[in-house]
Amino acid sequence: MKIFAETKKRFKLSMIIVILVASVISPAISNAYEYYGWWNDPYKMIPGISSGTYIVDTIDNYNYNGKVFMFQTAWNSAMDEWNNRTEANIQNSINVSGPERIRMRGENYGNVGLQGWVTVYKNNVVVGDGDATPLPVTSGWDYAIATLNAHSLRDYTYPQYRAVGIHELGHALGLNHETDGTPSIMNDKLYPPNSYLVPQQDDINGINNLY
């Protein structure tokens, strides 16, 4: 019985060592997506993103100094990316009825140093603004306006300025800038040669984890 007990102790100790070694070799995988506010209580779209509508408040064939932008098509396609890849289900108000959650704009806003930005509101009061004089996000929101600036996008191809639209909608849905190099449409330097033109897996995980 004593021999059996000692053998049992050695086996238990061996198992503990194996577990510890395995933990060192395979550390826990951490998420890289980033939110606004506190990690354990992040700010986000308060009504959720599984319903509601969006309005595209711009046109196709928008001409800026000879550059023709397909802003309407780009915005619709950008929202489709989030709807198709995540739990988001915010539909075009042309097709369904429901409260407006996001408005999308695109035109020339001049040399403000930004390709696009998002302003978020709670009860019609601005609680975060990403324009040329940015304000930090201070709470959750129930409405967002996403903007594309033709002036700063004049050298962009359609897939590239569409990607800027996807990036800005990521903000409207609750994702902050990605800063650690993880593949992400939310990279904080969203200009060529950034190669991320669609939401990456980390972006998808970030949205699905948030709601």
Query: pLDDT tens digit string along 111-148?
Result: 999 999 999 999 999 999 998 778 899 999 999 999 99
Average pLDDT of the chain is: 86
- Do residues 45 and 88 make contact, with C-beta atoms less than 8 angstroms apart? no
Which among 187, 192, 169 is positioned nearest to 177, based on CA atoms?
Answer: 187
**For residue 84, how many other CB atoms are within 10 A of its CB?**
10
Q: Where are the domains of the chain?
A: 36-210
Reported pTM: 0.84
- Do residues 91 and 98 make contact, with C-beta atoms less than 8 angstroms apart? yes
Distant-in-sequence contacts of 138-142, Cβ < 8 A, 24+ apart = 138/43, 139/37, 139/43, 140/37, 140/43, 140/44, 140/45, 140/46, 141/43, 141/44, 141/45, 141/46, 142/45, 142/46, 142/47, 142/101
CATH 3.40.390.10 fits 36-210, yes or no: yes
- At 144-167, the pLDDT tens digits run 999 999 999 999 999 999 999 999
